[in-house]
Amino acid sequence: MSRDAFWGPSVMKILHLISSGGLYGAERVAIELCKSLKLYGCQSMIGVIKNSHNPHVEVAEEAKKNSIETVVFPCSSQLDLKLISRIRDYIENDKIDLINCHGYKSNFYGLLASRKRIPIVTTNHNWLTSHWKLRIYCFLDSLWIRYFDRIIAVSDGIKEEMIKYKVPKDKIRVIDNGIDMARFNEVISPASIKEEFDIRGDVQIIGTVGNLGYEKGQIYLLQAAKEVIQTFKFAKFLFVGDGPLKAYLENETIKLGIRNNVIFTGYRPDIPRLLSIMDIFVLPSVKEGLPMVILEAMAAKKPVIATRVGAIPKVINDENGILVEPKDVNGIQRAIINLLQNSEKRQKYALTGYEKVKMEYSSASMTSKYYELYKEVLA
């Protein structure tokens, strides 16, 4: 008798374990999976490792808004042995069938807590390597994820990188990220959002969304902004997100003489609302997997300029957006000016981008592939 016939997919209980730094791509994937897996009769919950030195539980708050069961696991140090017991107790008491980890810290604690008594998989959203500490974490992560039942990469590039770290190739599956298109179909009043940021008149708004860190390359967008403002002196640049480089980036706007044209919103949970006021969306990353925010911008019918890194060229092409090389300030500047001067091209990219995401990167498509993988490891 098959497992589905004996156990029934309606009782599959999945814990998505994550150590969060905010509400960004990985967190959005976990939430989308929990929401969509309900359609398969699965019971999914999000477990958030709350770090005492850098506490972020936004993903738990967002999960609750979507009626997703959540549990917060306090973590008091870099090696908190009590955390292993907390996760293990939750797994046993709630009779969890499978763990899906997101990120190196959840991989470490999830593996130890599972004791390999239940299947455990992980999703590698991106290995960050801009700092020597991060490179050490990647190396250590590559050692313990070898003991996982399956490893999901959100792009072929991430898969190849893991193979270079000697992660077993036969355990890796590539599953593209997907989004809930319904989040971007709500009626939004851009005027009220502009008023919130004191944006007056018919000005051009160029925006980006993401953690303010080296990998996202916001400094190159700022440098390009200086030249764009020479042509469009009332243009506004909207930086949505928070992160370790926020103070540095704010200081750079002063050095570049563009402080009055740049708005840093800080962390915001209402990404569809903020996307609604942008004329152009730019993602100047120097390293990526498959960024959820690119899909979100396209779902919001925004023309996209992005760098040729990770899986972005798989999504953006000459028909639905503009690709530039990473760190290419002149390329970013030319692309922005090109689109600001050509409303027909902006409209074309917005519509073709929307259709691309709707057809190929829906949360339904992503979830069906995760569900099949879960059944595979549970069999």
Global pTM reads 0.83
Q: Are residues 191 and 317 in the same domain?
A: yes
Q: Are residues 264 and 349 in the same domain?
A: yes
Measured CA to CA, the distance from residue 20 to residue 27 in angstroms comes to 7
Token code pair at residue 121: 């998989």
Q: Are residues 283 and 328 in the same domain?
A: yes
Q: Are residues 188 and 102 in the same domain?
A: no
Measured CA to CA, the distance from residue 177 to residue 370 in angstroms comes to 10
**Mean per-residue pLDDT, 31-59:** 90
The sign of the dihedral angle between the CA atoms of 222, 223, 226, 232 is negative
- 8-state DSSP, 179: B
Q: Are residues 186 and 335 in the same domain?
A: yes
Residue-wise pLDDT tens digits, 287-326: 998 899 999 999 999 999 999 999 999 999 999 999 999 9
Measured CA to CA, the distance from residue 145 to residue 151 in angstroms comes to 7
Q: Are residues 96 and 236 in the same domain?
A: no
Q: Are residues 22 and 57 in the same domain?
A: yes
Q: Are residues 66 and 198 in the same domain?
A: no
Domain hosting residue 24, numbered range: 3-178+362-378
- Residue 83 class from Cβ within 10 Å (0-12 exposed, 13-18 middle, 19+ buried)? buried
263-to-64, 70, 202 alpha-carbon distances in Å: 30, 33, 16
Q: Are residues 40 and 135 in the same domain?
A: yes
* Contact call for residues 213 and 244 (beta carbons, < 8 A): yes
Q: Are residues 248 and 265 in the same domain?
A: yes
Residue-wise pLDDT tens digits, 111-161: 999 988 899 999 999 887 667 777 888 889 899 999 999 999 998 989 999
Q: Are residues 37 and 24 in the same domain?
A: yes
3-state secondary structure of 69: strand
Q: Are residues 277 and 245 in the same domain?
A: yes
Q: How many independent structural domains does the chain possess?
A: 2
The mean-pLDDT minimum among 4-18, 183-197, 222-236 falls in: 4-18
Residue-wise pLDDT tens digits, 342-371: 999 999 999 999 999 999 998 989 999 999
3-state secondary structure of 34: helix
The residues pairing with 50 across neighbouring beta strands, listed in sequence order, are 74
pLDDT bracket for residue 216 (50, 70, 90): very high
Picking from 283, 287, 277, 302, the residue whose alpha carbon sits closest to that of residue 357 is 302
> What is the pLDDT, as a whole number, of residue 80?
87
